[in-house]
Chain A
Amino acid sequence: MEDQNPEPSTTANDRIKFNVGGKLFETTVSTLRSGGSDSLLSALSNRPAHDPVFIDRDPEIFSVLLSLLRSNRLPSTAKRFSNQELIDEALYFGVESHLRSALAPIPLNGIDSTLLTTVKPSSDGVVSDFHAVDGDESLWVAHGGQISVYDWNLSHVATVRTHLDFISSIKRIRPDVAAVGSLYGSGLHFYNVANGRRVSSAEWVDTSDVRIHKARVHAIADSEGSVFASYDCHHGENCVLMIDKSTMEISSEIGRMSGNSSKNMVPTKLTYVSEMGVLVGSSVMSGAFGYSGYVRLWDPRTRDVVWEMSDPGSGRSSRFGDSFADVDVDLDELRLFKICSKSGDLAVADMRKLSDDPWVYLKEKNPSMRNVGGNGGGNFVIHCYRKQAFVGREGELEVWSRVEGSEDEGIANEGLYRRNYVDKVEDSGRGIIKKIEGGGDRLFVTRENVEGIEVWQSSYNSGVVSVL
């Protein structure tokens, strides 16, 4: 608009008229400006106010967006339109951030979540890995040799076929770029999903050791400026490489290990804890004599090990014969959660006070829950999200959540966490849970040899059913 001279006539309480597709609307300038300063509507609010501004769009859908701006919630008339339609129209008027917050799920509450939908790629539907991004709520899915991206509305954005036959790990590292690795092919590869090209790749090579060759990537983590990937060679030697995000060059090598025993296998899970500036790596092996593994914390700047524990190992709080099956980091509360392979118990450790003996075992006081799950089946996964620990036991999905009102006691008290099922009995029959990950207040779950990703979210909608 050329005539954007700030006229004194348009103050916040001035009324303004619109003619949208033949219907008249009247609203205040302040309502329009709440749509954000760069929206089409707030730009129109700067016009001289005597004539109604004509906008050639559908009036019904405009009335939905206008009441969204007025009340910050979607009116019930919005149900007549699909989400995609509302999004398209909100993009036109430049109020999509408003719509997004109105459509976004409520904070994820594990004790009150329901299965919303299952996202299924249209080919190679069994998902090998995925990354639910918390910033823009997108979902990045590796299935077979393909990467598929879904936006915050869970609608399909793009699919890229990679040169890998089977992707085993994926991480979104930049808004358009995913890092992928495969256990069946070497190297870490960066694919830009906007143009479908491989933009870069990183192989682990050592000029002084020719055996470092065709190293495969097992786990990927990312921080603000770098990507971390754990590599191992066919003879077992392994390390974590730190790759600079801007140059896509390898910047350092962390924690090189020989891989000749379970205490120095390649890390199969990597998490970067930005508050503490440490990289948490863990590896679990299951053999004839049960589980063994380690958790190790590195400082990527000095490349030193800050703390480590291994199972089976020493330490009073490590239970003999009951080593951990999975470990995850609660990034909100800086805690480590482990689940024991034999008893199925959960233990928590405060990352700020890591010692030789950090684990506190959580007791389940609910008598009806006490003896379930602890049958040593072994297919345990744990994921921490929004201060809750989600656990998959075979096909069952449960959540450990903190009881409110006991903030300052730390974790010394074992009874602070309560265990509840997220799912129903019939949900657990769908298959063994392989991965749980939270993102954008949704919980995503994949199951072994089952197509698609389950999406769980909380809702204020009671879901009341008429039985008449």
Chain B
Amino acid sequence: MPPFAGSKSFSNGFHQDSNSNIVTIDVGGQLFQTTKQTLSLAGSKSLFSSISNSNQGVPFIDRDPELFSILLSLLRTGNLPSKAKAFDIQDLISESQFYGIENILINSQSNPSQFDAYNLEKSLVLPLSGRDSASTISTTKYGSLHVAHGSKITSFDWSLQRKSTILTQFTAIDSLLALSPTTAAAGATDFSGLQIIDLDKGFVKDTLNWENVTRSDSTVQAIGTSPEYLFTSFESGRRNSNCIMIYDLNNSLHPVTKIGHYEIFGADLDSAIPATKLQWVPSHNLLMASGSHSGPSGVLGNIKFWDIRSGNVVWELKEKVDCFSDITVSDTLSAMFKVGVNTGEVFFADLRNMDAYVPWICLGDGRKLANGKKEGYGCKINTHGNQVLCSKGNNLELWSEVLFGSTQKQGDNLSERVFKKNLMGRSNDIGGSRITNFDFGGNKMYVTRKDQQCVEVWNSVRGF
């Protein structure tokens, strides 16, 4: 940011000089001066860029000068000054929308780069109306949140100050994915088709379906996304076939191709498992699809990495012993993590070493468990940045990699990676009922718990 104007063209007093770098603005009777560079930070679409380019006297804006001074400070420093606390964030949002700089306000208040997993604490609770607890949640990059509870979807804006609720055709939503702050894809394991829902007005924009050879309708098992595509895992209503459909996000959700189409004949149990988690791995250009089911010999599952262009499985892993209860791929750590359904332990597999006979390495912990029982059923695992978070019962574990040596050189010895865990939260944050979902957006983490009609917000709180 330019601290002061160029040395030659000073204007003494408040005269507007067209060659000057200094811009004088009259807001509600109060004069403000700033530089063209500061105003240009607001972006070309904002009101400020037209002001800095106009050459006719001191422009007058008929708005509140106090709110303007806050937004000017925001432009100068990138942070809200503390006098902004006198106002509701809603005032600032509407004022910033007037000036066309809401994105700068969002950047200062809910920036994903300010997310600090080590410094998260339970700070807010978002109540959900009615008696249904949240079944699934979805977030956007800057922290707006969609919560499916019962047949309803409640959307919170990035400031978490405003919400709106819409009714859907589902009885319960099992998969939800925010495509934009106002549209989401929703599906259920007991309802045919994937619905693209406009969350502002509450209507179904589009319904995507897949039909197998017998033309039976199909339910949605999982939704995933990449910058270009929307992936949906369908299973036919009679549960005898499944596949993953790929839709083009940039071309009005036109179906692109279909991968992993399996028809079940006879007793081939393995092929009957539809993918229940889809995750795009950008660095490898692969789609991770995993699914599991419990059978007579325990929980069986498989993990497949699909090359979507060729429609081939690049790498497949069958899970027979201690199958995953949940699985996630971290691109930044280039590793895959799972929670074992029997042991409740966290395992990791290095993506650079996928051909190993047993890729999983247990990230055990020498310490004894606080409450003896080890079980992975219902555990969720998720990754954000270079951290892995895993919910076990009512607790959240934070796994982070310990780095050795002073250089950035890493990865020569693949087996030597060390991950360590912490329990998240202070003693009064810990406890409550079992965690059912958690996700990240902006500088926040959202947590839902079993039978709780609310969403917990964990925030990185700064300073003293």
Give A residues with C-beta under 8 Å from B. 1, 3, 19, 21-22, 40, 44, 47, 51-58, 60-61, 80-85, 88-89, 92, 117, 119-120, 122-125, 144-146, 148, 153-156, 159, 161-163, 165-166, 184, 192, 195-200, 451
Q: Which 7 A-B pairs have the closest CB atoms?
A: A22-B33, A159-B118, A51-B10, A155-B463, A197-B403, A161-B400, A163-B402
Query: A54-B22, A122-B425, A123-B423 are contacts. A198–B69 as well, Cβ < 8 Å?
Result: no
In the complex formed, the residue of B with least CB distance to A24 is B13
* Interface residue B413 (Cβ < 8 Å from any Cβ of A): no
Contact with A along B421-442 (1 / 0, CB 8 A): 0111111000000000000000
Q: Are A21 and B32 in contact (CB under 8 A)?
A: yes
B225-260, CB < 8 A from A? none
Q: Are B22 and A163 in contact (CB under 8 A)?
A: no
CA distance A415 to B3 in the complex (A): 61
* Chain B residues within an 8 Å CB radius of A21: 32-34, 72, 76
Say how far B21's CB is from chain A's closest CB, in angstroms.
Answer: 8
| Total B residues in contact with A, Cβ cutoff 8 Å | 56
Say how far B380's CB is from chain A's closest CB, in angstroms.
Answer: 18
Give B residues with C-beta under 8 Å from A. 1-5, 7, 10-12, 14, 21-22, 24, 31-35, 37-38, 69, 72-73, 76-77, 79, 81-83, 116, 118-121, 365-367, 398, 400, 402-406, 418, 420, 422-427, 461-464
CA distance A1 to B461 in the complex (A): 38
* Chain A residues within an 8 Å CB radius of B72: 21, 58
Contact check: which of A58, A146, A166, A184 meets B69 at CB < 8 Å?
Answer: A58
Say how far B119's CB is from chain A's closest CB, in angstroms.
Answer: 5
A-B contact pairs, 16 of them (CB 8 A): A21-B32, A21-B34, A56-B34, A56-B37, A56-B76, A81-B83, A84-B462, A84-B464, A85-B79, A122-B120, A123-B425, A146-B118, A154-B464, A159-B118, A162-B420, A196-B403
Contact check: which of B4, B32, B398, B464 meets A55 at CB < 8 Å?
Answer: B4
* Chain B residues within an 8 Å CB radius of A54: 4-5, 10, 21-22, 33, 35
Q: Are A81 and B82 in contact (CB under 8 A)?
A: yes
* Chain A residues within an 8 Å CB radius of B81: 58, 61, 81, 85
Contact check: which of B116, B121, B406, B424 meets A199 at CB < 8 Å?
Answer: B406
Q: Are B420 and A161 in contact (CB under 8 A)?
A: yes
Q: Are B464 and A122 in contact (CB under 8 A)?
A: no
Q: Are B24 and A123 in contact (CB under 8 A)?
A: no
* Chain A residues within an 8 Å CB radius of B367: 165-166
Counted as pairs of residues, one from A and one from B, with CB atoms less than 8 Å apart, the total is 149
Contact check: which of A44, A47, A117, A163 meets B420 at CB < 8 Å?
Answer: A163
* Chain B residues within an 8 Å CB radius of A125: 426-427
Say how far A117's CB is from chain B's closest CB, in angstroms.
Answer: 7
CA distance A318 to B82 in the complex (A): 59
Q: Are B83 and A124 in contact (CB under 8 A)?
A: no
Q: Are B35 and A22 in contact (CB under 8 A)?
A: no
* Chain B residues within an 8 Å CB radius of A85: 79, 81-82
Known: A58-B76, A122-B118, A155-B464. 17 other contacts (CB 8 A): A22-B34, A52-B12, A54-B5, A57-B3, A57-B76, A88-B79, A89-B77, A122-B425, A153-B463, A154-B464, A155-B462, A156-B119, A162-B420, A192-B406, A195-B403, A197-B405, A451-B426
Say how far A66's CB is from chain B's closest CB, in angstroms.
Answer: 15
Q: Are B426 and A120 in contact (CB under 8 A)?
A: yes
Contact check: which of B1, B119, B406 meets A159 at CB < 8 Å?
Answer: B119
Query: A19-B33, A51-B12, A125-B426 are contacts. A162–B402 as well, Cβ < 8 Å?
Result: yes
Contact check: which of A1, A44, A117, A199 meets B464 at CB < 8 Å?
Answer: A117
* Chain A residues within an 8 Å CB radius of B405: 197-199
Say how far B347's CB is from chain A's closest CB, in angstroms.
Answer: 18
Q: Are A56 and B118 in contact (CB under 8 A)?
A: no
Q: Are A165 and B366 in contact (CB under 8 A)?
A: yes
Query: A22-B24, A83-B464, A165-B367 are contacts. A56–B3 as well, Cβ < 8 Å?
Result: yes
Query: A122-B119, A198-B405 are contacts. A58–B73 as well, Cβ < 8 Å?
Result: yes
CA distance A80 to B66 in the complex (A): 14
* Chain A residues within an 8 Å CB radius of B1: 56
CA distance A153 to B424 in the complex (A): 24
Contact check: which of B14, B82, B402, B422 meets A198 at CB < 8 Å?
Answer: B402
* Chain B residues within an 8 Å CB radius of A57: 3, 76-77
* Chain B residues within an 8 Å CB radius of A47: 7
Q: Are B119 and A145 in contact (CB under 8 A)?
A: no
